[in-house]
Structure 1
Amino acid sequence: MSSTSEPIGLPAEAASGPRWSRETKVIALIAVAHFVSHVHIMLLPPLFGEVREAFGVSYIQIGLALTAFNVASALLQTPAGFLVDRIGPRAMLTGGLLLGAAAIAAAALLPGYWFFVIAYAFLGVANTVYHPADYTILSATVDHRRIGKAFSIHTFAGYLGSGVTPALVLACAAVWGWRGGFLFAAGLSFTIALLVIVAGSILPRVVHKPGQQPAKGETKVGLGLLLSAPILRNLLFFLCMAMATGGIQTFTVVGLEAIHGTTFSAANVALSGFLLCSAFGVLLGGIIADRTPHHERVAAVGFAFTSTMAILMAWVNMPAAVLVGVMSLGGLLNGMIQPSRDMMVRAVTPPGSFGKVFGFVSTGFNLGGMMGPLLYGWLMDRGEPRAIFMIVVGFFLLALVTAITRAKPQGTTVWTR
C-alpha cells in the first residue's frame, strides 16, 4: 500500500541533538497538548446546571452544544488529517489550540444561547486536529522501540485531563462563576499554544523538495487508503471501543441503581476506580506494547475481562467492595488495551499518511459519542438497564473479533524521521 503524501522531517537543529532528549521533549509537549484537548471535552458537563440557568434553557438544549461539538468533530476530523499530512502537524496543532481558546472564550463572553452552541461547534472543529497531529508527530520522531510507551503517555495525559477537569473548573466557578471557569480553560489553551510556538522547533514539519508540486490524484490515493479493509477495520474497532466504554462511563451509576439498588456513592466510587485504573493501565499497556508484536493478544486479554466485568455488573448484585475491585481491575485492563490499539493502526499506515489515517479512524470515537447516549438513554427510558450492559459486552466482543482477525503486516516498516 503506498501514499503520495509528503514525508515528515525534522529541522536540522532538532535532529542533531541527542535522540532521547529530543524524544522526551516531543512526548512531553504532545502530552500537554492532549491534556488540554480533554479539558475542552470535559469542560461543560460539571457546569451543566449553572450554564442551563444562565441561558434559561433545558438540559436537552444545553446537551445540543455537545452534539454540535461531536458532529463537527466527526465531519471534519478526516479532512483535518489530510491537512496535517499536507501542511504539517505543528501548524495544525498550534491552530487547533488557538481556535479552541477562541471558541471557549466566545462561549463564555458572547450573549445568547445560540452563540454558545455555535462556539461549541467551533470547539469541535478545534478538536479535530489533536489525534491526526499528535500521532503523526509521535510516529515521525519516536524510535519504534519506544513508540508504545510514547503512545501510552499521550493517552494517559488525555485521561488525566478528563480526570482533573471537573474539580478544576468547579473550583474556578466557585470563585468567578461558570464564565470564569471557561475563561480559565481558554487561557490554558492559549498558553499551551504559545508553548508549542516557542518550543515547536523540535517538532516535525512537512518537507517539500524545491519546485515539487503535490501529485495529481493525491486525494484519490488518500481516499483509497482510508477505504481499504485494514483501515475500515480499525475505524470499526474505534467505534466499538467508544460504544462500549461510553456505556460504562455514562450509565454505570444509574444502571446499577436500577438493576441492583446499588447506592449512588458505591456506584460512583466503583466508576472512579474504573477511570483511575484505566489511566494507569494505559502506562502499563505502553510497556507491554513495546515488548510484543502481538498486539491483538493484548487486546484479547483486556476484552475478555472487561466483557466479564460488564456481565457481572448486569447479573450479579456484588457487595460494594467487590464491585469496586472488579471495576478497578476492569479499568486497568481496559486502559492496557489502548496503546496496542494505537500500534495496530500504526502497523497498517504507510509513511506520510499518519494524519489522514489517525484522523479517519478517530472519527469512530465521535460516531460512538453521538450514537451511544441516544441508544443507552432510550433503553433506560424503556426500563431496560440490564440491556445496556449486554450491548456493552456485544461491542467489546465485536472489537475483539476485529482485533484478532486482522491481517498481520508483512515485513518491517521503515518510518521517516
Structure 2
Amino acid sequence: MRSINYQEHDRLRVSFGSLRTLPREALVVLSLVSGSHVVNHMYLVLFPPILGVLAMEFDVSLATLGFAMGAQAFVNTVFQLPFGYLSDTYDRTLTFGLCLVLGSVGALVLAAAPTFEWLLVGQIVLGIGVAGHHPAHYPLLSDATTETNRGRLFSIHGFAGNIGFAAPPVVIVAISSLDGLNWRHAFGLVGVVGLLYAVVAVFVLLRHVPTSVRQPNGPARPNDGRPTPSLWRRLRAGTRALVESPRILALGMLALVASTAMWGITSFVVTLLDQGYGVGSSTASLTLSVMFGVGAVFMLVGGDLSDRYAPAPLILVSYVLVAAFVLLLASFVLPPSAAVVAAVLAGSVGSLSTPARDKLADVLSARADLGRNFAVVTIGIMVGSTIAPPLFGVIIETFDFRIAFASIAVVALGVAALTVGIVTRWGEGYSLGDAPATGD
C-alpha cells in the first residue's frame, strides 16, 4: 500500500482560479469530458421528473417504470468493462463518441415510443451508451493532466455531472409549458443536442488533442523474449487479485449501498412530493433540479473537507444526515414547503461524501491496483442504481410512500455502519476521527 502524506498533498493543492495556467490540451480535454458528463447524466434521469405522467400515458404502474429504469442501470453496469476494454486497448475517442451517439439514439427512441415496450428498448439502448462515458473520460483526463492538478479537474468533472442530473426537470418543465409541446419534445431535444455534441466533441478531440492523450497507453510488453500472457490468463489473474482484496470488495459494497439509497431518493422524490404532499407537479420536478444543483455545490465543499479531515467521518456524517432528512419525509409531519426543503437536502447532502469515498479508495489501494479498485467502486454504484428503482417501486406499490422512504433511510444508515466496519477492520493507518498522516 502506497504512503499518503496529507500535508504534502495540501501543499500541492491549487486554487480553482488558476485554471488558466493549465496547458491548452488539458483545458480542451476538461471542457469536452465535462460537457459529455452533463449530457450523459441528463440521459440517466429523464424518467424521474415525469414518472406520474408516464404511468398514466402508458397505463403502467410505478413498479413497472422502476423496472425500466433498473433495466437501463443493469445494461449500464454490464457494459462498463467492455467499454473499458475498448478504451484501454483500441481507442478512447471511439469510446467517447460511441457512448454519446448511442445515448442520443436511446433518448430519441424514448421520445418516439408508442408503447411501454418501446420505452424499455429506449432505456436499454440509452443505458448501453451511457456505460462508455467513465471509461473514456477518466483516461483522457488522467493523461492530459499531472498529479498536482488531476484531483482538481476530477472534481470539476464531477460538478459537471451533477449539473447534468439537475438539467432534465428544468428542460422538461420548460418545454412542456409551451403550447402544443410535451415531454416527448423535451426528450427529442435532449437527444438531438447529444448527437450534435458528439459530432463537435469528436472533431475537436481529433483536431486539438494530441495522440498521446487520445490513444491508450497499452499494456507493458515483457522485454525478456517471453510472450505476453493470454487474455484469459490476465482475466484469471485479475479476478484472483480482486477476490484476495476483501477491503476493496467491501468498498464496492459501500458504493452499492450508498447508490441504492441515493437512487431510491432520486427515482421517487418527485412522485412523493406530488402525490404524497400535494406539491404541484412542476414545482416537484424543479425540486429535483435544485437537489442536484445543491449536491454539486456540496461535492465541491466535500472535496475541500476531504483534504482537511479523514474520509470516514465525512461519509458517516453525510449519510446519517441523509437518513434523518429521508425519515422526516417519510413521517409526513412536514408542511409541503418544508417537505420540498427536506427533499432537496435528502438528495444532496450525500454528495459531501463522494470525494471522501474516493479518498478512502485511494488510501486503501496500492498505485498498481488503483484503476481496478475504482472500477469496482463504479460497478458498485451501477448495481445500486439497478436495484433501487424496481425495489422501492415495488415497496411503494405494495405498501406506501411512508414504508418506502423509511426503507431508504435504513439503507442510508447501512452506509454509515459499513463505513465504521471498513475503517475498523482495514483502516490501520488512521483513526475514525483524525486526518491521516500516512496510509497503509
Measured against the shorter chain, the TM-score band is: 0.7 to 0.9
CA–CA separation in structure 2 for the residues paired with 1:300 and 1:18:
36
| 2:215 alignment partner in structure 1 | 205
Shift of residue 34 of structure 1?
Answer: 0.8
1:188 equivalenced with 2:193 (yes/no) = yes
Q: Which amino acid aligns with 1:369?
A: S
Higher relative contact order (CA 8 A, sep 6+): 1
Write out per-residue CA displacement over residues 91-117 of structure 1, whole angstroms, 9 at most, x where no aligned residue.
312221122233334555687664553
CA–CA separation in structure 1 for the residues paired with 2:368 and 2:94:
16
Distance 1:98 1:346, change over 3 A: farther
| 2:246 alignment partner in structure 1 | 229
Asked if the contact 2:48/2:270 (under 8 Å) is kept, the reply is no
Asked if the contact 2:110/2:122 (under 8 Å) is kept, the reply is yes
CA–CA separation in structure 2 for the residues paired with 1:306 and 1:394:
10
Asked if the contact 1:226/1:360 (under 8 Å) is kept, the reply is no
| 2:258 alignment partner in structure 1 | 241
Shift of residue 252 of structure 1?
Answer: 4.2
Q: How many residues align?
A: 395
| 2:322 alignment partner in structure 1 | 306
Q: How does 1:53-132 map to 2 (within 5 A)?
A: 58=60, 65-108=68-111, 114-132=117-135
Select 2:45's aligned residue among 25, 42, 46: 42
1:295 equivalenced with 2:306 (yes/no) = no
CA–CA separation in structure 2 for the residues paired with 1:181 and 1:226:
43
Give the secondary structure class of the aligned counterpart of 2:412: helix
Distance 1:43 1:136, change over 3 A: same
Give the secondary structure class of the aligned counterpart of 2:229: coil
1:401 equivalenced with 2:417 (yes/no) = yes
Q: Pick which of 268-277 and 225-234 moved more.
A: 268-277
Asked if the contact 1:27/1:138 (under 8 Å) is kept, the reply is yes
| 2:389 alignment partner in structure 1 | 373
Distance 1:211 1:359, change over 3 A: closer
Q: Which amino acid aligns with 1:58?
A: V
Asked if the contact 1:85/1:353 (under 8 Å) is kept, the reply is no
Shift of residue 47 of structure 1?
Answer: 5.8
| 1:156 alignment partner in structure 2 | 159
1:264 equivalenced with 2:279 (yes/no) = yes
Asked if the contact 1:131/1:358 (under 8 Å) is kept, the reply is no
Shift of residue 37 of structure 1?
Answer: 0.5
CA–CA separation in structure 1 for the residues paired with 2:427 and 2:86:
29
Q: Which amino acid aligns with 2:191?
A: A
Distance 1:145 1:316, change over 3 A: farther
Shift of residue 35 of structure 1?
Answer: 0.5
1:215 equivalenced with 2:225 (yes/no) = no
CA–CA separation in structure 1 for the residues paired with 2:329 and 2:112:
43
Asked if the contact 1:236/1:364 (under 8 Å) is kept, the reply is yes
Q: Which amino acid aligns with 1:126?
A: G
Shift of residue 316 of structure 1?
Answer: 7.5
Asked if the contact 1:96/1:126 (under 8 Å) is kept, the reply is yes
CA–CA separation in structure 1 for the residues paired with 2:369 and 2:184:
39
Give the secondary structure class of the aligned counterpart of 1:58: coil
Distance 1:107 1:170, change over 3 A: same
Shift of residue 325 of structure 1?
Answer: 5.0
RMSD (Å), alpha carbons: 4.0
Q: Which amino acid aligns with 1:282?
A: M
Give the secondary structure class of the aligned counterpart of 1:345: helix
Asked if the contact 1:270/1:324 (under 8 Å) is kept, the reply is yes
TM-score, normalization by structure 1: 0.77
Shift of residue 52 of structure 1?
Answer: 7.2
**Unaligned 5+ residue runs, structure 1?**
3-16
Shift of residue 152 of structure 1?
Answer: 2.7
CA–CA separation in structure 1 for the residues paired with 2:370 and 2:42:
24
CA–CA separation in structure 1 for the residues paired with 2:182 and 2:401:
35
